Amino acid sequence: MRQNPILERIDQLLEEAQTIHGSVYVDTAPIREKVDEEAFRSWSVSCSHVISLAFGRESEHYRAFDREISDFYNLFRNFARARAVLKAAREDLAAGMLVKLEDLAAAEVFDDMLEMALHLHESGYHIAAVSITGAVLEDALRKLHAREIGSVADESKISVLNDALKDVYGQPTWRQIQTWGDIRNDADHGKYSNSEQQKALDANGEPYPVIDPRQVRRMIDWTRDFMEKHLTYEEHSAL
């Protein structure tokens, strides 16, 4: 089976590091060990990219690497420390945190949609925000189902997918998804109002309840957290 492409790229960068190590020289004003500046700069850019792709810019791996290259003096000690960070990142990936690139791409698209939902929510269009967030959550469940269980029927909805995935993420998450699914379903079927000034009426002429903006914001934030946990990394107990 082909090795994970991010691991392959890190291995390539570690090989390049050996060449950079071979370029070390002593600068006499003041006396300091340095490496080839152009090679170090090019290498560090590639390393930053692959670490951010694998772990994100908020990860400890990325921050540790960035600390060593933020003040660029092509010092050997900074290069050596940066290479050590890259080795640690490689070991952590190989130990079980293997990134699925298609999941990363999906998460990026989902993030844009959730930003749109957040903008609508903050502008007072809470029902539209719920509909978009619900669509994102449903698609995330489809991708998780395809990865963990197998193909998904086209007509499968949040409740069906959630029941199938209950053993994957546990009862508390299952219960919360059921709640979000119900809210999304009511929003899509006009059973909420956007505000006191825009009340929707039922068949008897009675107004539907106004959707709670705080609940909408929780739904957006929760869905984002769910995707980051379940669509960014694939955990393996063994390679």
Phi–psi pair at 199, nearest 5 degrees: -80, 130
Burial of residue 8 (number of CB atoms within 10 Å: 0-12, 13-18, 19+): exposed
Instruction: Report in angstroms the alpha-carbon separations of 105 from 89, 97, 100, 160.
Output: 21, 17, 9, 25
Pairing of strands 97-99, 25-28: unpaired
Sign of the Cα torsion 113, 119, 122, 123 reads negative
What pLDDT is stored for residue 200 in this prediction? 59
Going residue by residue through the chain (239 aa), what tens digit of pLDDT does each one get? 345 677 888 999 999 999 999 888 888 777 788 888 888 988 998 999 888 877 778 788 888 999 888 876 778 888 999 999 999 888 877 765 544 444 544 555 556 788 888 888 888 888 888 988 998 899 889 888 888 888 777 667 899 999 999 999 999 999 999 999 999 988 877 777 665 445 556 667 776 777 888 999 999 999 999 988 887 644 433 33
Q: What is the DSSP letter of 99?
A: E
Helices (H), the chain: 5-21, 37-55, 60-69, 76-94, 101-122, 126-148, 158-164, 166-169, 171-188, 213-230
Query: What SS3 class is residue 233?
Result: strand
What pLDDT is stored for residue 234 in this prediction? 43
CA dist., res. 177 & res. 182, Å (int): 9
Sign of the Cα torsion 213, 215, 218, 223 reads negative
Q: What is the DSSP letter of 192?
A: S
Query: What SS3 class is residue 73?
Result: coil
